[in-house]
Structure 1
Amino acid sequence: MPLSPDQQAEIEELRSQPQQTLRAVSPGMEAHLYHARPVLDHGFVRVVDYMGDDAAITQAARVSYGRGTKSVSNDEGLIRYLMRHWHSTPFEMCEIKLHVKLPVFVARQWIRHRTANVNEYSARYSILDREFYIPEADALAAQSTVNNQGRGAALTGEEAERVLRYLRDDAMRAYDHYEEMISTEGQDGLARELARMNLPANIYTQWYWKVDLHNLLHFLRLRADSHAQYEIRVYADAICEMVKDWVPFAYRAFEDYRMGGATLSAAGLECVRRMLKGEEVTQENSGMSKGEWREFQGLIG
């Protein structure tokens, strides 16, 4: 189950006791507070706390730029200007703290974003639950033949059944041995900090993750992308839904300029200019490598 009974009881108690505040609040984010959004088979994401809203971004920008913002007629226009010109500091005025339950192998990818404050459940002090991520059958895929870190066609039939059986059986066997090693019945019992090394990477862990909006949007640009690994992408997608309600102006600008936009090299931009003039541009006369040319063609269709 995603939430333990104790966690659910804590959430219900907190939601039953709303507090008055003088600080800025986002009605969209208030609706997400203390609600756990299920992800994968046993995971979740929930908002524990947040600071700021769209107005906090524009407030900080106007302090920074003073008269330079007078020509911007509204907050959304200013936010789009900031996003368009990569002015990141105003977005750092907003922060969010998330409680995330996720498989360890997803956490290892996630922690590569070293721009957040993280506190993880400790298997040195506590005993991990018998919860493992087991993919749905349609999420099992062969190694990609064109991408060394991606997936290819889905596995089917007997091979898919065998892989699922191995994943379940190996996880349960490892946890059985974990329990046996830490048990103090008739033995001293191995220290938890040592016994945990026998557990597989698909066991679930939990952490609190606090990050500012600028760095969160960078995380989402990479992890909500269609090329990201499925298991981390579904967490990013869930967070996107929360951010969309929290800072709607900033999120729309992010969708336009980061998720839906594209960056061209100087060579790529020159090729576009030449094409607009009616020139025939090929890989050979573009000044690009074959890989760059392939990606350029993908961008311009």
Structure 2
Amino acid sequence: MTLTPEQQAEIAEARATSRSTLRATSEGMEKHLYTAHEVLDHGLVRVIDYMGDDAAITQAARVSYGRGTKAVQNDEGLIRYLMRHWHSTPFEMCEVKFHVKLPVFVARQWIRHRTANVNEYSARYSILDREFYIPAPEHLAAQSTVNNQGRGELLEGEEAARVLDILRDDAMRSYDHYEDMLSQEGQKGLARELARMNLPANVYTQWYWKVDLHNLFHFLRLRADAHAQYEIRAYAETMCGIVRDWVPLAYGAFEDYRLGGVTLSGKAIEVLKRRLKGESVTQENSGMSKGEWREFEGVWR
């Protein structure tokens, strides 16, 4: 991971400055403020600011639902109730702002989550660093034969070495040409907003990403899942650790009901009922497609 001297100085200054406040703070989140967590080969995630804690969730719920929450005896029970019954608004009372450094191809996948505020480093105004994501050998894999979006068997030996050489050579060559086009030595040089088009999708970019807890949980449910692409999952797993420290009660409920839970279709529930009665149910007589059946069976293995 590479931080610029300016970023390192900013982090050092921010961590050295103590501020008194009347607003609620999270002891767990305070230790993450401004700390850069390494991700992939040159990436990072760090918390710039946050608002709220577990108490903010229950406070909002009790305002919204009034006497309807009286039967829930404690904050943890209330939070678990809210998560279990998909009450999203109270979780929107907490927000966090991340600084993320990530490869462009990961950013383009990430930006599909349109429920956050994003401000990205602009290659129209600044020159991108010579930093590229090159996968570790254990993450080089062939195309999956059963999942058009996934990876299959690992590449090994000469094949893996050949692919890594191509990735490095192409990235460096593209950046060399990028610099050449920008050159001001005896020539006008191409505008930065045009020269950037030549850069590969594994070059690193940076952004500030601000999101409320409800939508962050939605992001983490999809991207921390074992089926998510490894590169974005690496960021999601790092963020899971941060959120666990920030709102431990809410994260515990999220981990139980979302990360560790499953949603079953009406057909799947019917199959379970039939099996509990002792009936032998197969894909052919389940009413499910082959894909549905494969996913259903995968839950129980």
TM category, shorter: over 0.9
SS at match of 1:56: helix
The share of aligned pairs that are identical, in percent, is: 79
Letter of the structure 2 residue corresponding to residue 166 of structure 1: I
SS at match of 1:12: helix
Counterpart Cα distance in 1 of 2:233 and 2:6: 28
Length-normalised TM-score, structure 2: 0.98
Counterpart Cα distance in 2 of 1:87 and 1:12: 39
| Structure 2 residue aligned with 1:103 | 103
Displacement of 1:270 after TM fit? Answer: 1.3
| Deviations 1:55-108, CA, capped at 9 Å, x for gaps | 000000000000000000000000000000000010000000000000000000
Q: Unaligned stretches of 5+ in structure 2?
A: none
| Deviations 1:1-27, CA, capped at 9 Å, x for gaps | 421111011110011111000000000
| Structure 2 residue aligned with 1:122 | 122
Counterpart Cα distance in 2 of 1:284 and 1:196: 53
Counterpart Cα distance in 1 of 2:116 and 2:198: 28
| Structure 2 residue aligned with 1:179 | 179
| Structure 1 residue aligned with 2:211 | 211
Worse-superposed segment, 147-156 or 77-86: 147-156
| Structure 2 residue aligned with 1:71 | 71
Contact 1:101 1:204 in 2 (8 A): yes
What is the RMSD computed on CA atoms of the aligned residues?
A: 0.8
| Structure 2 residue aligned with 1:153 | 153
Counterpart Cα distance in 2 of 1:196 and 1:154: 32
Counterpart Cα distance in 1 of 2:54 and 2:189: 53
1:253-268 matches, within 5 Å, as 253-268=253-268
Counterpart Cα distance in 1 of 2:294 and 2:146: 13
Letter of the structure 1 residue corresponding to residue 139 of structure 2: A
Counterpart Cα distance in 1 of 2:226 and 2:191: 42
Displacement of 1:287 after TM fit? Answer: 1.6
> Are 1:167 and 2:140 matched, yes or no?
no
| Structure 1 residue aligned with 2:4 | 4
1:55-70 matches, within 5 Å, as 55-70=55-70
Counterpart Cα distance in 2 of 1:240 and 1:33: 15
Counterpart Cα distance in 2 of 1:61 and 1:265: 29
Q: Unaligned stretches of 5+ in structure 1?
A: none
Length-normalised TM-score, structure 1: 0.98
Counterpart Cα distance in 2 of 1:154 and 1:134: 15
| Structure 1 residue aligned with 2:222 | 222
> Are 1:195 and 2:195 matched, yes or no?
yes
Worse-superposed segment, 263-272 or 105-114: 263-272
